[in-house]
């Protein structure tokens, strides 16, 4: 999950590719689909599989790697897929791995895990603390990789039930690097009909999922402005063109873009996160940011340049995450069958961004949040904190949800085809 520090916005309009309508009028076929989630969760909670997932997750956690540097993580994934006898493509977008479980034939449905860590020093003292100084899995991507590997084990064990192919996407560089876009550009998902992704959150109880149809998370972009003036002695301000004064007024004026120029019903945030002296953004907002910065600098006889990082791989602007309506209904059905309808909660949109949105621009996609707080234990720290800790009891839930969403999608698609 990416928390843009400078500009975030939600767009309500979005064009979605058509997808399979996942419904069936036959009680028998409906029962077949409904049986999968409980069965897969029971399988995921077996001690042997749970212990294996914990071990995998801890290995990844001890060896965090930044975007497009996930070579050891990728190696571990490939070793486990080899043991399972699951074929894969590698390398995909430098370090990515894309595996295939099932018939090898259409339809194709994908489940995605992001692999990268954050440039952050871990402050949690425990046996499996990061061994790489200044790098930490502070966003749960180690768990996401483990969950998709766990799903792969479940699916491989039940491969005869797969009415098509599940594509396992192990993606690099979610944290600002736009790895999802590069995976798409590699062409490995061209035949995929739908894609699912999840994110662990500390804010929800374990076994509770949150999501919604339509806009779920913000798009994001970044800018860097340099204001140049003429320095001098503080006692003789008349001999200077003070860039600090100009920059201070720029910060204030930028806030007016949201409070006075944006529609109150259109969620936007402009934040100046770093102030130092001496993207596919909303097009109008992008233009006005540039005008305000240059205009305010000119008032104080300074000049300014604004860089939106349009040509830098590590600062790719992210589109908004918008969930497909039909996949939302599928998710509610599968998660409800597994966890209970009361554990499937509609959430409000959030202003963080997620590069899963790139998939949704070309493939019907669905993204959801998976709670991991044990209410009997101390409150977990939120993601992107050096004190972030994962409740490993969440691993079977994520693995089973991934596997169930994919397998049920394939089965429902086949049943609908036969009943047409």
**Residues 272-322: tens digit of each pLDDT:** 555 565 534 456 667 887 888 888 888 878 898 887 766 654 457 899 999
pLDDT at 296: 84
On whether the CB atoms of residues 318 and 358 are closer than 8 A, the answer is yes
Bridge partners of 75?
none
Please check if 137 is assigned to a binding site. no
**Same domain, residue pair 245 and 206:** no
**Same domain, residue pair 213 and 235:** no
Question: Domain range for residue 88?
Answer: 7-218+319-419
| CATH of residue 88 | 3.40.630.10
Residue 268 phi/psi, 5° resolution? -140, 150
Is 207 inside any structural domain?
Answer: yes
DSSP code, position 314: G
Is 2 inside any structural domain?
Answer: no
Instruction: State whether residue 354 is helix, strand or coil.
Output: coil
Is 314 inside any structural domain?
Answer: no
How do beta strands 88-92 and 96-102 pair? antiparallel
In the listed set 308, 342, 358, which residue is the last one of a domain according to the structure? Answer: 308
Band of residue 243 on the pLDDT scale cut at 50, 70, 90: confident
pLDDT at 246: 80
**Same domain, residue pair 200 and 143:** yes
DSSP code, position 152: H
Please check if 384 is assigned to a binding site. yes
Residue with more model confidence, 305 or 135: 135
Please check if 175 is assigned to a binding site. yes
What residues have CB less than 8 Å from 288, skipping those under 6 apart? 257, 261
**Same domain, residue pair 187 and 108:** yes
**Same domain, residue pair 50 and 93:** yes
On whether the CB atoms of residues 97 and 86 are closer than 8 A, the answer is no
Residue with more model confidence, 76 or 287: 76
**Same domain, residue pair 302 and 325:** no
Please check if 144 is assigned to a binding site. no
**Same domain, residue pair 67 and 142:** yes
d(CA 31, CA 36): 9
H/E stretch holding 245 reads helix 243-256
What residues have CB less than 8 Å from 253, skipping those under 6 apart? 292, 296
**Same domain, residue pair 240 and 378:** no
Please check if 190 is assigned to a binding site. no
d(CA 70, CA 84): 21
C-alpha distance across the termini of the chain, in Å: 40
| CATH of residue 230 | 3.30.70.360
pLDDT at 8: 39
Number of domain units in the chain? 2
**Same domain, residue pair 86 and 100:** yes
**Residues 166-206: tens digit of each pLDDT:** 999 999 999 989 999 999 999 999 999 999 999 999 999 99
**Same domain, residue pair 45 and 76:** yes
On whether the CB atoms of residues 54 and 128 are closer than 8 A, the answer is no
In the listed set 240, 275, 308, which residue is the last one of a domain according to the structure? Answer: 308
**Residues 406-417: tens digit of each pLDDT:** 999 999 998 887
Is 313 inside any structural domain?
Answer: no
What residues have CB less than 8 Å from 236, skipping those under 6 apart? none
DSSP code, position 201: E
Q: What percent of the chain has pLDDT over 70?
A: 83
**Same domain, residue pair 26 and 46:** yes
pLDDT at 310: 63
Residue with more model confidence, 27 or 378: 378
**Same domain, residue pair 135 and 88:** yes
């Amino acid at each position: 999950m990416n928390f843009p520090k400078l500009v975030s916005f939600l767009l309500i309009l979005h064009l979605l590719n058509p997808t399979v309508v996942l419904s069936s009028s036959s009680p028998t076929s409906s029962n077949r689909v409904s049986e999968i989630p409980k069965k897969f969760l029971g399988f995921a909670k077996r001690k042997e599989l749970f212990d294996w997932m914990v071990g995998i997750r801890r290995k990844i956690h001890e060896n965090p790697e930044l975007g497009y540097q996930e070579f050891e993580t990728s190696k571990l994934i490939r070793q486990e897929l080899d043991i399972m006898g699951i074929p894969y493509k590698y390398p995909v977008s430098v370090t990515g791995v894309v595996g295939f479980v099932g018939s090898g034939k259409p339809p194709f449905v994908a489940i995605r895990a992001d692999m990268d860590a954050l440039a952050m020093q871990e402050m949690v003292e425990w046996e499996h603390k990061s061994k790489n100084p200044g790098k930490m899995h502070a966003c749960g991507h180690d768990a996401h990789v483990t969950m998709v590997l766990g799903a792969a084990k479940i699916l491989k064990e039940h491969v005869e039930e797969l009415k098509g192919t599940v594509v396992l996407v192990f993606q690099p560089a979610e944290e600002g690097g736009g790895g999802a876009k590069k995976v798409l550009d590699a062409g490995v998902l061209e035949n995929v009909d739908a894609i699912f992704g999840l994110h662990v959150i500390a804010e929800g109880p374990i076994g509770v999922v949150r999501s919604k149809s339509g806009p779920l998370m913000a798009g994001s972009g970044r800018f860097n402005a340099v204001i140049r003036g003429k320095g001098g002695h503080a006692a003789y301000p008349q001999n200077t063109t003070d860039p600090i004064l100009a920059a201070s007024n720029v910060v204030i004026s930028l806030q007016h873009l949201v409070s006075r120029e944006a529609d109150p019903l259109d969620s936007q945030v402009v934040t100046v996160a770093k102030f130092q002296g001496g993207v596919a953004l909303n097009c109008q907002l992008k233009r006005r940011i540039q005008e305000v910065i240059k205009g305010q600098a000119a008032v104080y006889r300074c000049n300014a340049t604004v860089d939106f990082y349009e040509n830098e791989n590590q600062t790719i602007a992210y589109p908004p995450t918008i969930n497909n309506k039909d996949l939302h209904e599928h998710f509610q059905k599968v998660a409800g069958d597994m966890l209970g309808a009361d554990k499937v909660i509609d959430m409000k949109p959030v202003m963080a961004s997620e590069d899963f949105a790139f998939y949704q621009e070309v493939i019907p996609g669905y993204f959801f949040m998976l709670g991991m707080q044990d209410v009997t234990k101390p409150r977990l720290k939120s993601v992107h904190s050096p004190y972030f800790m994962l409740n490993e009891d969440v691993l079977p839930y994520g693995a089973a949800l991934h596997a169930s969403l994919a397998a049920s999608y394939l089965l429902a698609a086949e049943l609908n085809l036969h009943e047409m």
